[in-house]
Structure 1
Amino acid sequence: MAKPTRPQRARKSDDKKPSTHDKPGFAARKVAADILGNVTYKRRPLDQELDLVSGHAGFKALAANDRALVRAILGACLRHRGEITEILNRLLDRKIPEKTGRVLDILHVAIGQMLYLDIPDRAAVSLAVDHAGVDRRAKPYKGLVNGVLRRLGRERDEVTADLDGERLNTPEWLFDSWSAAYGENAAREIAKAHAQEAALDLTVKSDPAAWAGKLEGEVVGAGTVRLSRKGAIETLDGFQDGEWWVQDAAASLPARLLGDLSGKRVADLCAAPGGKTAQLAAAGGEVTAVDISKGRLKRVDENLKRLGLTADVVAADIREWEPKDTFDAILLDAPCSATGTIRRHPDVPWLKQLYDVETLSKIQAELLRRTFDWLKPGGILVYCTCSLERAEGEAQIEAFLKETQRAELVPVTAEEIGGLSRSVTGEGYLRTLPCHPANAEGTASGLDGFFAARLRRI
């Protein structure tokens, strides 16, 4: 008689080993590596990748806490990219012969967590090895990824000794430019400031001291409220009522140089994202805001609506657009390399090149010549850029004043900008550096790098 067979137990789906893709934290690390590669190899702006409407599909699909983790990882990796690259040079016997950069992206993401974020080494190493194991391009180097990261964990102090972060994290052409303009010590201080994430600054409609108290912040600059805590800005007191908008303390200074605008026709040129437009409208100006980007102007419209302010918003290229009448005042925030915003945009050093400055300088000169003619006699134009490069600031104004007899420089004073005397040059220009004090007392620091000059039409 045949022996009865033991019935086989059906395997439940719960008994299956979870896939690598389902491991907690894996998706966030994978997205971070994808975006890092897109920024550094494909030269896509980080803000574009992190946009919740049109950005990276994997990033948009993440939960809010994982999106915050991705932002933190990318911030660390980009701010310390030069140091991480040098660390890998010390750990690797030879360059990785992999053209796409995928293995390097995975290593950078892991090292960024191990050295610059409060994440245990074991989690960073394990998930990096898992990522290499499931990525077609990186799979052949899974063992290398594991070995390199574990060695870093064991030899952290030796491998990271004597790293010159200020030089390594700044492309050579940029550091040389800052050294020539401000001196090597200042260039190092600028680079050091870039290693820190920028604070959240707000421009308020009125009573900065009161709002600083309500929002647990302090007053810096010329009336900016700087917050000491972070969180979703939509939940902060005053947002829904349109009492303030986000704007760096330095970015708020150029519009203040136009003074009282009550009843005056004012143009905000290259207006998006709209912080300066809001300032001009709140100061009583009849504002025409012009920008080439229809998409970015939607944000301007949304902000104005929330703030209860009005402006005539025009989508146009100011190299071709003509106003119907002249203006009493013009704010020309010219397109630039944005090297003054690296604290907020750590991808800038790895996206921009010297030729970008050279190309943009020509556009800036063209716009300055063209738009100055839109002023009424006696009218004021403030030219500004969020660049640290003299070619996009001082050199533009010096060249313009040499070629026209219809313009005169109206020097900026420290009193106009909250007593920030270090940010006023001997020529009377506004020049903020990221390492400059953010208040007159010198107890706060950290500003975007901005240049501004005030010109009057004779």
Structure 2
Amino acid sequence: MSKQLELPESFVRFLEANGIDPSIYNEGDSLPRYVRLKPGFEDVVQEIESEINCKMEQLNWLPGFYSIPPHVHIARSKAYQQGKMYGIDAASGAAVSALGISPGDHVLDLCAAPGAKLCMMLDLLGDKGTATGVDVARHRLSACRTMLQKYGLGERSRLFLADGTTFSLPPTTNLPCGSCDEETFKQWTSRRPYKERKQVAKTRNNFVLPHDAHPEIVFYGHNSGVIGLQKKDLFRPLDQNDYANCGYDKVLVDAECTHDGSIKHIQKFEQWGWTTLERRVLDAERTDTNLTALQLNLLRNGFRLLKQGGILVYSTCSLTHAQNEDVVDEFLAESSSAELQEIEMAKDWPCRSGRTPKTVRFDPSTSATSGLFVARIKKMAPEKNVL
């Protein structure tokens, strides 16, 4: 039987005000865990099952994903330690799948840390295209870099410490290295010059990048389009209109939210302290206009960086309408070139329709996953003025 979680009254009021049934948080102990096998390792399933002493159930609606009992931990398994599989909720995997990534795409993950979705993007790209990850938190981006290196997926990736609402760097391609000087990017290494290490140490306590700070590249792979560029070229943004032709093919905006849809996340507050939940989830400035304004600005900027004909997916792990349908509706109302699209593959997903037509929602009761909202938006040609 699932453990009955004693939720604080203030959180119960927050849930009820948003039409969310508090009883879903008692289902956390019965929800399965999900793992994704890296392509090419499908033949090690029986070996993994023997090691973790349980059956891995393949999901018929999401390629490469398996469910395992909630009490099973994979961190000590050889397959996990050798980078053959990683943990990622199936709902998050569905959000990445909704992008329709093809080999050769240039993909942007505007809120990339801690990195599981970025890993899946790179798996889908294979040996063509690039993936750019952006996050505002240095320590979370460091974890993302570690994950890319562990799973051998750093070759075509680059990571920027930057504000996702203002990030303005296009995808790039490799250029020949002419006169390689200290301003030209060479092969990435974790060893940094003394001056750079001193600067990092000076700012180590600043976990979150200031709003007006310039982007900082913290990792790049050999085929990520960075080596051979000069710094002035890498950090030179395009004019707004140029992104229609030279922007990203696919953009994921998995926006910062109150995380109320993540059952396991909310359960952790029982150990962390409910006062921490008050501060992180229920603070009025986060759950009212400030947070939804941030989400809308992330969506706006992600769409700006998208090329014409490209696809953007907006998602959050909140179950509230304010952070999901309301944000999407407001964005669509102000952008004539944005078209909300049907997610065709969702016909086979264990999800339900969102309040806004063509959007979908996952929740513990319907899909046995964490809660997640997903909307797929295409960038159309701008309407021409008719004289």
TM-score range (shorter-chain normalised) is: 0.5 to 0.7
Q: Which runs of 5+ in 2 are unaligned?
A: 50-54, 172-246, 381-387
SS at match of 2:143: helix
Q: Which runs of 5+ in 1 are unaligned?
A: 1-74, 86-167, 180-186, 438-445
Match status 1:190 vs 2:24: yes
Say whether the 8 Å CA contact 1:331–1:382 is kept in structure 2.
yes
Equivalents in 2 of 1:237, 1:419: separation in Å?
32
Aligned mate of 1:270, from 107, 111, 134: 111
Counterpart in the other structure of 2:331: 400
SS at match of 1:340: coil
**Partner deviation per Cα, 1:183-202 (whole Å, 9 max, x = no partner):** xxxx25534424x3643211
Equivalents in 2 of 1:342, 1:175: separation in Å?
16
The higher radius of gyration belongs to: 1
The alpha carbon displacement at 1:207 in A equals 7.1
Q: Which has the higher contact order (CA 8 A, sep 6+)?
A: 2
Greater strand content: 2
Change in 2 beyond 3 A, CA 1:207/1:188 = farther
Structure 2 residue identity aligned to 1:331: L
Residues 73-84 of structure 1 mapped to structure 2, 5 A cutoff:
80-82=5-7
Match status 1:453 vs 2:371: no
Counterpart in the other structure of 1:296: 140
Change in 2 beyond 3 A, CA 1:307/1:276 = same
SS at match of 1:343: helix
Counterpart in the other structure of 1:307: 151
Equivalents in 2 of 1:342, 1:323: separation in Å?
35
**Partner deviation per Cα, 1:307-328 (whole Å, 9 max, x = no partner):** 1112101111122321135111
Aligned CA-pair RMSD: 2.6
SS at match of 2:148: helix
Change in 2 beyond 3 A, CA 1:400/1:282 = same
Counterpart in the other structure of 1:287: 131
Change in 2 beyond 3 A, CA 1:229/1:198 = closer
Match status 1:206 vs 2:39: yes
Change in 2 beyond 3 A, CA 1:382/1:417 = same
Residues 345-360 of structure 1 mapped to structure 2, 5 A cutoff:
345-347=266-268, 350-351=277-278, 352-353=281-282, 355=284, 356-358=286-288, 359-360=290-291
Match status 1:363 vs 2:203: no
SS at match of 2:291: helix
How many residue pairs get aligned? The number is: 280
Say whether the 8 Å CA contact 1:173–1:354 is kept in structure 2.
no
Counterpart in the other structure of 1:410: 341
The alpha carbon displacement at 1:208 in A equals 8.7
TM-score (norm 1): 0.56
Equivalents in 2 of 1:447, 1:178: separation in Å?
19
Equivalents in 1 of 2:365, 2:26: separation in Å?
8
Equivalents in 1 of 2:45, 2:349: separation in Å?
19
Equivalents in 1 of 2:266, 2:79: separation in Å?
26
TM-score (norm 2): 0.66
Structure 1 residue identity aligned to 2:136: I
Counterpart in the other structure of 1:332: 253
Residues 367-406 of structure 1 mapped to structure 2, 5 A cutoff:
367-406=298-337
Equivalents in 1 of 2:352, 2:108: separation in Å?
25
Say whether the 8 Å CA contact 1:341–1:386 is kept in structure 2.
yes
Greater helix content: 1
SS at match of 1:317: coil
- The percentage of counterpart residues that share the same residue type is 26
